[in-house]
Amino acid sequence: MELTKEQEQAREAFKVFVNEHVAPHADAFDREQRIPEELIMLIAQTGYFGLIVPEQYGGKAGDMITYGLLCEEMGRGSASLLSLITVHGMVAQAILRWGSSAVKERWLRKLAAGEVIGAFALTEPNVGSDAKSVETIAVKKDGEFVLNGTKRWTSFGQRADLFLIIAQCEGKPTAFLLKKDTPGLSLEPIKDTFGFRAAMMAELTMNNCHITEDNLVGRIGFGVTHVATHALDYGRYTVGWGCVGLGRACLEASLSYTAQRVQFGTYLRKHQLIQHMITDMIVSVTAARLLCLNAGYLKDAGDPRTGMETSIAKYFASTMVVKAALDTVQIHGANGISNDYPVQRYLRDAKVMEIIEGSSQMQQIIIARYGYQEYL
């Protein structure tokens, strides 16, 4: 799988952007627990929010491998910023796939331009992986829907203008769009998380939020089986690539540190145990990238296997990056747990990668079911 000339050029542009605007400031983002508005607007100006949105809606109609390369570089620079690319894209992709013509016309152009920032609100205080059991309720009344409930751990919930909400309607999980300024919607920032501290997470409380019928995405009952499934597949793809980027950051930090640090009269890179750790990182990052490339190739080809291959890529890449981050901290010793080095942030963010957009255990269940169907 070789990248095209255009993809190589795009990757270089993404790398330059991250090196200039993201990586040098990521520790500050983490400490301040926010992504600056200026950076969000700069991403909008570059067109990255609309990279895979069709041209008819103001996007660049890019391919999925190019988008994966963007996510890799963002993950290398700041996992928290990657989550903005992820959740914003999940909303856009859900609308593109399941929204009515009117919904697409109303929102996709604004999402592609970054005029509106989207966020996906699925998880609740009592509901995580069991998405079909959400407790948020939507009642249809007089041509409207009335939403009541609470959503938690919503990445960029503090900043988003538009939320994709999964709620029970007539006893069936259903997807809705909810604007930030809707009366009855309140937001509570979630601070001091273990990782993704700059992801501006929030808890959303809906108290008799009235929305019109044209804010329905798909049909009643499509919320999990169609809309959320499609959004999560996209999210897993971006997270898998982000893990490759974060794995690269771990590898680059380890290579740099071991080439400078002297112990027992020689550079750390000369010690065989260190070489073993470095070797594992190189091999694991390379393997994760190939899995992500495969998933992207299948998505661009419209191959139905892409969902399973995306789960495989996300599972492997997220477990890989936790091991890489642990080894990176170990290589750095006491410096690895110091705020003077970014590797402690890498470890905290890496662990979150195993949880978001379907935990590692959920991916194992999905992959195992596929294995029984495909190979027995």
Q: Give the separation between CA 176 and CA 216, rounded to whole angstroms.
A: 5
Nearest to 295 by CA among 236, 364, 246: 236
Residue reference for tokens 């009855």 = 184
Residues 6+ apart with CB under 8 A from 76: 18, 23, 245, 246, 248, 249
Q: 123 is written with which tokens? A: 């998880």
Nearest to 356 by CA among 122, 94, 24, 170: 122
Catalytic residue among 73, 124, 309, 357: 357
Q: Give the separation between CA 82 and CA 32, rounded to whole angstroms.
A: 17
Q: Give the separation between CA 351 and CA 174, rounded to whole angstroms.
A: 30
Q: 308 is written with which tokens? A: 């399973």
**Active site annotation includes 357:** yes
Extended beta strands in the chain, E state:
118-121, 137-141, 144-154, 162-169, 172-179, 185-189, 202-212, 216-217, 262-263, 266-267
Active site members = 357
